[in-house]
Amino acid sequence: MMAEIQLIEIKEEILSDNKKEAENLRKLLKDRKTFLLNLMSSPGAGKTTLILKTIERLKDRLRIGVLEADIDSVVDAEKVAKVGIPAVQIRTGGFCHLDASMVMRGLDAFDLSSLDLVIIENVGNLVCPAEFDTGAIRNAMILSVPEGDDKPLKYPLMFSVCDVLLVNKVDYLDMSDFDMQALYARVRTLNPKISIIETSSKTGQGIDAWSEWLEREVKAFFA
């Protein structure tokens, strides 16, 4: 006679616990009046460069900090600190994402009373980061033109959970077969409310529009 097998859904339990921690973190951020943005993308899509360009635009209007996440590196945090912005590095030790408890530990290293905006640069990955609520007020993602316009078909959850999509490196459009119209249609099917901004950190295209979007969201959060 075969023994009864007990099935334990570890992932569901982990996600449920993380959701509670994320909601608690959002309450804390509201009390501290600090806006938290979770920025996600594949490796090499241009997160760090875009963050630096955003800092250039907003540093005189918002007090900004950056929470960097990498499996094993401090390279990006050093770039941010070099321009005089408070930076905290989280080494995930093999984890391919940040969750709310990791973010909370990172935020503990900041003086939140002195910051209006903290930008999370999540681990480069289009899968795991989309599954874990970090406690952020808004989620943003970058898709770079060299990655192709089919990514919404392959990674639908990422495009579904984000409030804004930055289509980055549009200066490569003339050198690729990237179909912007097809991308918009695929993304809108998954997430009709998402904002889409075309950007290039190299030429500056769209950086002002993105910075204005972010500043509006921060001010609305404080209202």
Query: How confident is the model at residue 71, as a pLDDT?
Result: 67
Six-digit token string for 8: 């334990």
Give the pLDDT confidence of 25-84 residue by residue, as tens digits: 999 999 999 999 999 999 999 999 999 999 999 999 999 999 999 866 678 889 999 999
Q: Is 173 a residue whose pLDDT tops 60?
A: yes
Query: How confident is the model at residue 66, as a pLDDT?
Result: 96
Query: How confident is the model at residue 95, as a pLDDT?
Result: 75
Query: How confident is the model at residue 137, as a pLDDT?
Result: 98
DSSP for 35-60, please give it: EEEEEEE-TTSSHHHHHHHHHHHHTT
Task: Name every residue whose Cβ is closer than 8 Å to that of residue 54 and which is 6 or more positions away in sequence.
Answer: 119, 207, 210, 211, 214
Question: What secondary structure letter does DSSP report for 108?
Answer: T
Alpha-carbon gap, residue 223 to 160, rounded angstroms? 26
Give the pLDDT confidence of 111-158 residue by residue, as tens digits: 999 999 999 999 999 999 999 999 999 999 999 999 999 999 999 999
Query: How confident is the model at residue 10, as a pLDDT?
Result: 43
Question: What secondary structure letter does DSSP report for 6?
Answer: P
Q: Is 11 a residue whose pLDDT tops 70?
A: no
2 pLDDT band, cuts 50/70/90, is low
Q: Is 174 a residue whose pLDDT tops 50?
A: yes
| pTM to 2 decimal places | 0.91
Among the listed residues 47, 87, 49, 35, the one whose alpha carbon sits nearest the alpha carbon of residue 66:
87
Q: Which domains does the chain have, with CATH numbers?
A: 31-222 (3.40.50.300)
91 pLDDT band, cuts 50/70/90, is confident
Give the pLDDT confidence of 179-192 residue by residue, as tens digits: 999 999 999 999 99
Six-digit token string for 142: 């970058």
